[in-house]
Amino acid sequence: MFETNYDVVIIGAGPAGLAAAIETKKVGTQKVLLVERDHTLGGILQQCIHPGFGLHLFDEELTGPEYAYRFIEQIKPLGIDVLLNTMVLDIDRDDNRIYAVNRDKGVCNIGYKSLVLAMGCRERTRGAIAIPGTRPAGIFTAGTAQRYINMQGYMVGKEFVILGSGDIGMIMARRLTLEGAKVKAVVEIMPYLAGLTRNKVQCLDDFDIPLYLRHTIIDIKGKDRVEKVTVSKVDDNFNPIKGTEWDIDCDTVLLSVGLIPENEL
Amino acid sequence: MSMMDVVIIGAGAVGSAIARELSRYELKVVVVDKNEDVGGDASKSNSGIVHTGYDATPGTLESRLVVAANPMFDKLAKELDIPFKRCGAILTAVTQEEYELLPELFRKSHKNGVYDVEMLTAEQARNLEPNISPEVKGGIYIPRESIVDPFALVVAYAENAAMNGVQFKLSTKVIDIQVEDGKVTKVVTDKGEIPTRFVINAAGLYTDDIAKMVGQCDFTVHPDKEDYAVTSEGLEEIIESVRRLLPAASPKDTITQYSGLRPVKTPEGYKIEASKEVKGYVGVTGVRSTGVTASVSIAAYVADILADEGLDLKPKTNFEPYRTGFTKFNELSWKEKDELIKRNPLYGHVICRCETVTEGQIVEAIHRPIQAKSLDAIKRRLWAGTGRCQGGFCSPRIVEILARELNVPAETITKHRKGSEILTGPNRLGD
C-alpha cells in the first residue's frame, strides 16, 4: 500500500480544488496534495469548450479549458503535488487519513491535517424528477452529453428536446445546433429562465430555438430509442394542465434540471 | 447445426435454470433467445424475492414447486456465487380488514406446507421492523422469505450451464418449430435451423407465440408486450402504498423508477408438461413472478419430464457445479484491493463512482462465457449505473471500454439491443 502524509489534501481538481490548492500553498502551507479522478486537472471545465469564462478574474473571455489552464500552470511552480486517475473511496476521520485507488500505485493511504472536499456536483437525473414513460436509449443529462460530444467526439442524437433552461442545457442547445442537430424545444417548468439571460440570447434566440416557460415533459415514448415526448403547460402548482399537451418527435432528450453537490464520501 | 438433444427457447430465469440442470447430463443442449443478453424480459423486472410459497394457492403445481425451491437456495447461491440473503418477511395488516384476513392467511400457509410462520402482535411487528407504520395492527412473520439478486441468478445459471457445455445462441429469434409424423424435428430460427429431439418452450411472455408453432396453444399471455411504461398514476399509487406501510419513506429518496412485464396466463397457473400430440415438445407455461424462485425446482421437474419422455439422462462425470462470480472489489479489504491492483492495474480505475465498479470488473463481464455487450448487460451484472447519478458519470466511460474490448466502433454500442444505440456517430469534421 502506498502511504504518504500531507498538511492539506484536496479532493477534486476542478476550479474550486485548483483555487483552494493555490491559495493554500500561497499562504505558506508546506505539503499540499490535489487528488483528481480524471486523467487531467481542470474537472468539468475541460468539457466546457464554450467561451464566457474569466471575465471577472482575468478581464478577458476564455473557454473552459483555457480558464482552467490559468490555474493549472501555477500548480507545478508552486510545488503542489498531484495524483491523477485517483478515486478517493473512503475517509477515516478518526485517524485523519483517506483511502484512494490508482492504477499505478494501488491503494493510496494518505494522511492529512486538513482535508478539503471540492468534488463538485452531480446532475439531477430523470429518476430524481420522475418523468413517466418508457426507458429507451437517448435520454442524457446535459453534462453527460457534453462529455460525449466535447471530450469523446461523438454525437448523441439528431433531433432534441431539452428539459430545463439551466446554463448547461442552453449551451448544449447551441453546441448541438453547431454539430448539425435540430433542437426543437427547450422546456422550462418555472415561469422564468433558470440560467443566465446572456445564454438565452446567445444560445437560443440567435439559433431560433423556441423556449417554453411554464411547460414540462409529461411522457417519454419510444421502445429502443426515444421517439417522441409529450409536452404540457403547467399551472401555478406545476401540475400539467389537461388539454394543453402536444407531442414533439425527437430521438433524444437532454435534461438540464439542476445540480446536486457530490457527497458520496 | 448438428443434431441436438434439447433446444431450450428462452434464456430467462427458467430457461437458464433448465439449461444448467440439463448440463449435469451427457446431452447436447442449446438455448435460443431473441435478446442480446440472458434475462432480458420478465426476469429483469423481478422483485428478487425468494418466496416460501406461504401464500400460493394450495394444491397447485406452483405451490409445490415454489415451496420446494426455497430451501434449495442456500446451496444454489453458494454454488453460483450470487448475493442471497435470508432476511425474513413480515406480512403486515394496517387496516382492520387486512387484520381480519390474517388467521386465514396463516392457515393457508400451513396448507402450503409452510409451517414455520408466526402470528405477530402489533408490538412484535414493530419490534422486528421499527420503521413500520404506527397504525399496524398485526402481521405474520415468514422467516424464510429471502432476497436474491435476480440478474445475477440468471447470469450465473447461464454461465454455469455454458461452462458445462450448453451452447447459447443469443440475438436469435425462433421463427418456427417443424413437426413430422407427430414428432418435433427442428427449430427454425432467423440464424438457421437446429435439428433436435426435444424442444422446451420457456419463452415467458412469448410462450403463446411459441406454443402456436406446434399447435399446442390453449391459453393466452397478457399483457401487450410492446407497450408498457411508468405512468404518473402508477407512481402516485406506489408512493401512496409505501407511505401507508413506511411513513418515513419519501419520494425524494428514490433513485429511479422502472416498469416491466410479468406474464399473466389465461387460464391461470403453472402448466409444465410434455405434449401428448406432439412428441418432443415440452411447454413451461403460466410461470409468473414466482418463476425466479421456482426456477431451480422447475428445472429438476422438467428434467424428470424429459426422462419420462425417453431422454437418457446419463450423468456427466465432470459436471462442475461451482461458478465464480465477478470480482467483488467493493467487499475486499484495502490490502486485498492493493494486491489485486498490483496484479491487474485495471482494478485501480474506478469507473462507476456510486457503486464502486472498476474497469477490471467491466472487462471481466465482457469476456465471460455469456458476454456482456451492452450498457444494460454491464449494469445487470455489476450494478454500474444503478446508483444516484444513474450512469451520468460511468456510461460514457463504459461505452468506450465496450467498444475497445469488443473491437467495434463506439456508435454500435447499445443500451440493450440493436436499435438502442447510445451514439449517432462521430462529430462533424470541419465541413
Residues B72 and B109 grouped into a single domain: no
**Is B176 in the same domain as B281?**
yes
A91 touches B: beta carbon within 8 Å: no
Search chain A and give the residue with CA nearest B337: A107
- Alpha-carbon distances, residue B107 vs A58, A201, B58, B68, B116 (angstroms): 78, 70, 10, 19, 12
User: Which of B334, B361, B398, B412 best probes binding to A when mutated, by most A CB atoms within 10 angstroms?
Assistant: B334
Residue B52 in domain: yes
Write the pLDDT tens digit of every residue in B137-173. Answer: 999 999 999 999 999 999 999 999 999 999 999 999 9
Helices (H), chain A: 15-26, 55-58, 64-75, 126-129, 142-150, 167-178, 197-199
How many Cβ atoms sit within 10 Å of the Cβ of residue A189? 19
B159 and B205 co-located in one domain? yes
Decide if B402 is inside a domain. yes
Predicted-complex ipTM score? 0.94
- Residue A106 distance to chain B (closest CA, Å): 5
Given this model, what pLDDT does residue B265 score? 83
In percent, the amount of chain B with pLDDT more than 90 equals 82
In a domain, B429, yes or no: no
- Which of B235, B341, B420 lies at the smallest CB-CB distance from A101? B341
Q: Which of B116, B143, B170 is the last residue of a domain?
A: B143
Q: Is the pLDDT of residue B256 over 60?
A: yes
CATH code of the domain covering residue B338? 1.10.10
Structural domain boundaries, residue B303: 4-78+149-225+261-308
pLDDT band, very low/low/confident/very high, at B111 (cuts 50, 70, 90): very high
- Residues of A with Cβ-Cβ distance to B418 under 8 angstroms: 224
Cβ neighbourhood burial of B367 (10 Å; 0-12, 13-18, 19+): exposed
Mean pLDDT of B230-245: 85
The residue-averaged pLDDT of B194-221 equals 93
Report how far residue B400's alpha carbon sits from residue B381's, in angstroms, rounded to the nearest whole number.
Answer: 18
Which of the following is catalytic: B51, B110, B367, B416? Answer: B51
For position A134, what pLDDT does the model report?
A: 87
Q: For position B65, what pLDDT does the model report?
A: 98
B62 — pLDDT class (breaks 50, 70, 90): very high
Q: What is the pLDDT of residues B341-385, one digit of tens each?
A: 999 999 999 999 999 999 999 999 999 999 999 999 999 999 999
pLDDT at B148: 98
> Could you tell me the CATH number of the domain that includes residue B291?
3.50.50.60
Question: Does A156 sit within 8 Å of B426, measured CB to CB?
Answer: no
Q: Is residue B230 part of a domain?
A: no
pLDDT for B226 beyond 70: no
Please indicate, yes or no, whether residues B338 and B285 belong to a single structural domain of this protein: no
Under an 8 A CB cutoff, do A179 and B427 touch?
yes
- B83 belongs to a structural domain: no
pLDDT of residue B222: 76
> A2 to chain B: nearest residue by CA?
B338
- Show Cβ contacts of residue B277 under 8 Å, excluding neighbours closer than 6 positions: B182, B215, B216
* Three-state DSSP class for residue A71: helix
Check residue B225 and give its pLDDT.
Answer: 56
The pLDDT of residue B338 is above 90: yes
Same domain, B174 and B96: no
Q: Catalytic site residue B51?
A: yes
Residues B11 and B125 in one domain: no
Q: What is the pLDDT of residue A165?
A: 95
The reported pTM is 0.94
The predicted pLDDT at position B243 comes to 87
Residues B206 and B59 reside in one and the same domain: yes
More confident: B252 or A207: A207
Same domain, B205 and B131: no
* Total count of domains within chain B: 3
On whether residue B296 sits in a domain, the answer given is yes
pLDDT recorded at residue A264 = 77
What pLDDT shows up at residue B221? 85
DSSP bridge partners of B382:
none
Residue A34 β-bridge partners: A10, A82
pLDDT of residue B431: 54
Residue B232 lies in a domain: no
- pLDDT at B363 (0 to 100): 98
In this prediction, residue B228 carries a pLDDT of 65
Q: Are residues B165 and B131 in the same domain?
A: no
| Whether residues B66 and B211 fall in one domain | yes
**Looking at chain B from residue 226 to 255, which residues have their Cβ under 8 Å from any Cβ of chain A?**
226, 228-232, 234-235, 251, 254-255
- Average pLDDT, whole number, for chain B? 94
At residue B223, the pLDDT reads 66
Q: What is the mean pLDDT of each run of 10 residues along chain A (265 residues)?
A: 97 97 96 97 96 93 97 97 97 97 97 97 87 92 96 96 95 96 97 95 97 97 95 96 97 94 83
Do B56 and B289 contact (CB within 8 A), yes or no? no
B251 lies in a domain?
A: no
- Say whether B251 and A144 touch across the interface (CB within 8 A): no
Same domain, B336 and B391: yes
| CB contact A184 to B (< 8 Å) | no
Helix (H, G, I), strand (E, B) or coil at B114: coil
Q: Collect all residues of chain A within an 8 Å Cβ-Cβ radius of residue B255.
A: 125, 127-128
Residues B72 and B157 in one domain: yes
